[in-house]
Amino acid sequence: MAHTTLSAARTAWQVGAHSAVELCEASLAAIADQDPVLGAFTEVTADRALSRAAAIDRDREAWAHQPLAGVPVAIKDNLCTAEVRTTASSRILETFVPPYTATAVAKLEAAGAIIIGKTNCDEFAMGSSTENSAFRVTRNPWATDRIPGGSSGGSAVAVASGMAPLALGSDTGGSIRQPAALCGIVGLKPTYGRVSRYGLIAFASSLDQVGPLTWTVADAALALSVIAGGDAADATSAPHPVPDYTVGLTGNARGLRIGVPRDLLNGEGVDADVATHVQQALETLKARGASIVDIALPTAAAAIPTYYLVATAEASSNLARYDGVRYGFRAPAEGRDTLRAMYCRTRERGFGAEVKRRIMLGTYVLSAGYYDAYYLKAQQVRTLIRRDYERAFEQVDLVAMPTSPTPAFRIGERIADPVQMYLADIFTVSANLSGLPAISVPCGFSTEGLPIGLQLTGRHFDEATLLRAADAYERDANWSVHRPPHVGARTHA
């Protein structure tokens, strides 16, 4: 039963082929088998999951019409879950048990989904490899000496290796799409405001969005239909009605105009295999009825510095709340401590190196003498990037790019060089800076057998077109039938 899609798991429960308890047991068995090697989970909520599954099985009538009844799901550990530890993979929140549940998670549970565990991520979602977790290394199931991408690396691995058919992640600058691409699955970052951020541990509030990681585009559409919508608890969530995103998946891309920023695609640092497969994917979309148009996004080349100024500025402000008084970890008292000394020691021991780097950078760019030169300038460039897209969308319906300039790199390869790590985000951060929806869909394998992702970006609140094109491509190319080799403590027949 491992390696089932979300839609198949849901149908299996609906028709009575599998009980919710059986679906959960299959997930838990896959975790017990593979997670000692892969390290996708920070916590497995087996008892809670099994008792909820049993309750859903007992009351079939009440759950029969819920879209995700009986389906196990994994949740990135920066989404709050009441009574389940939520750490954001940070020492400072190691013992934090939230009293409330994030809206996106609550919506999944209300739809009948069952949380089987919390997934490992870069500390406070800061990173592109999941190596910044304070707790464990997460390995790419396609090659276990490689990173799974990040920051939602645990969520991507949970889905890619068949431990759960759906995982939630968060995407501030690519953290859903990039690990999805590097693990050979689908990752969707919705329009800013499409999904409530309530209960998501804040990194950069003007960029953060919650979204699904799945095997197929149809599953991403199903999951988005459940988690999207306005929320009184998040003033930045949008009240727009939520369509059933699964109905528009017609299997063709007829009439769609897809823009390709050639300069970026042919730019420095783009792996040859990545460029080739993205080009082939465009041919496939053309054969499915789309027209391909060359476009220019002149400011996109400045996206990385812009993003790393805006994101660190917001992070430095958001992370000021971790002072040892209100949340989680507090450094033990030493002698006649002052309050200030307690704050300093708590933050010095509670945060990892990357988080500290970003707090310092963010504090610096917001400081009186440098605000105009850095933060204000970055906000101005952010506007130019958004205008680039607005101009492009006068001409085209979607923009196509690679998701990541390279396939998965080796564990340890970039950890000592933050700038190299940041460069992995060149194609993903613009969608966050502009608030646009974007999806990564598998589009082939490198010569070394590592997955490659195609990224499509759409207009604000036009997830429907994004999903339609990605689904049309997926049906033709069908990369989703390829699964990683079994990586496990036990081997299966």
Residue 126 within binding range of ligand GLN, rule CB under 6 A: yes
Compute the least distance from the CB of residue 344 to ligand GLN, in Å. Answer: 25
**For residue 456, what are the β-bridge partners?**
400, 439
Compute the least distance from the CB of residue 197 to ligand GLN, in Å. Answer: 12
User: Is residue 175 annotated as a catalytic residue, yes or no?
Assistant: yes
Residue with smaller CB distance to ligand GLN, 206 or 279: 206
Candidate residues 77, 171, 219, 463; the one interacting with ligand GLN per rule CB under 6 A = 171
Write out the binding residues for ligand GLN, residues 291-330 only, by CB under 6 A: 311
Residue with smaller CB distance to ligand GLN, 79 or 249: 79
Compute the least distance from the CB of residue 81 to ligand GLN, in Å. Answer: 19
Instruction: Report helix, strand or coil for 80.
Output: coil
Indicate the pairing of strand 114-119 with strand 72-76: parallel
Residue with smaller CB distance to ligand GLN, 126 or 249: 126
Stretch that binds ligand GLN, among 32-40, 64-72, 124-132, 444-452 (CB under 6 A): 124-132
Compute the least distance from the CB of residue 124 to ligand GLN, in Å. Answer: 8
Stated length of the chain: 493
Q: Which of 175, 237, 434, 446 is catalytic?
A: 175
**For residue 439, what are the β-bridge partners?**
188, 456
DSSP conformation letters of 10-43: HHHHHTTSS-HHHHHHHHHHHHHHHHHHH--EEE
Q: Which of 128, 151, 161, 440 is catalytic?
A: 151
Compute the least distance from the CB of residue 125 to ligand GLN, in Å. Answer: 4
**For residue 114, what are the β-bridge partners?**
72
Candidate residues 174, 187, 261, 451; the one interacting with ligand GLN per rule CB under 6 A = 174
Tokens 């990224």 found at:
455
Token pair of 101 as six digits: 């549940």
Residue 172 within binding range of ligand GLN, rule CB under 6 A: yes
Write out the binding residues for ligand GLN, residues 127-146 only, by CB under 6 A: 127-128
Residue 42 within binding range of ligand GLN, rule CB under 6 A: no
Nearest to 155 by CA among 178, 173, 132, 135: 178
Containing H/E element for 401?
A: strand 398-402
Residue with smaller CB distance to ligand GLN, 176 or 253: 176
Residue 430 within binding range of ligand GLN, rule CB under 6 A: no
| Residue closest to ligand GLN when measured from CB atoms | 175
Is 250 in contact with 221 (CB distance < 8 Å)?
no
Write out the binding residues for ligand GLN, residues 176-205 only, by CB under 6 A: 203
Q: Which of 19, 27, 76, 152 is catalytic?
A: 76
Write out the binding residues for ligand GLN, residues 388-427 only, by CB under 6 A: 425
Q: What separation, in Å, do the N-terminal and C-terminal C-alpha atoms of the chain show?
A: 13
Is 66 in contact with 109 (CB distance < 8 Å)?
no
Compute the least distance from the CB of residue 425 to ligand GLN, in Å. Answer: 5
Q: Which residues of 170-190 are buried (b: 16+ CB within 10 A; e: fewer)?
A: bbbbbbbbbbbbbbbbbbbbb
Q: If you count DSSP H runs as helices and E runs as strands, how many of each does the chain have, helices first?
A: 17, 11
- Return d(Cα 349, Cα 345) in angstroms, integer: 6
Is 195 in contact with 201 (CB distance < 8 Å)?
no
User: Is residue 356 annotated as a catalytic residue, yes or no?
Assistant: no
Q: How many residues bind ligand GLN (CB under 6 A)?
A: 14
Candidate residues 112, 153, 154, 173; the one interacting with ligand GLN per rule CB under 6 A = 173
- Return d(Cα 62, Cα 64) in angstroms, integer: 6
Residue with smaller CB distance to ligand GLN, 63 or 124: 124
Compute the least distance from the CB of residue 141 to ligand GLN, in Å. Answer: 20
Residue 125 within binding range of ligand GLN, rule CB under 6 A: yes
- Residues of this chain that interact with ligand GLN (CB under 6 A) are 125-128, 151, 170-175, 203, 311, 425
Catalytic positions, written as ranges: 76, 151, 175
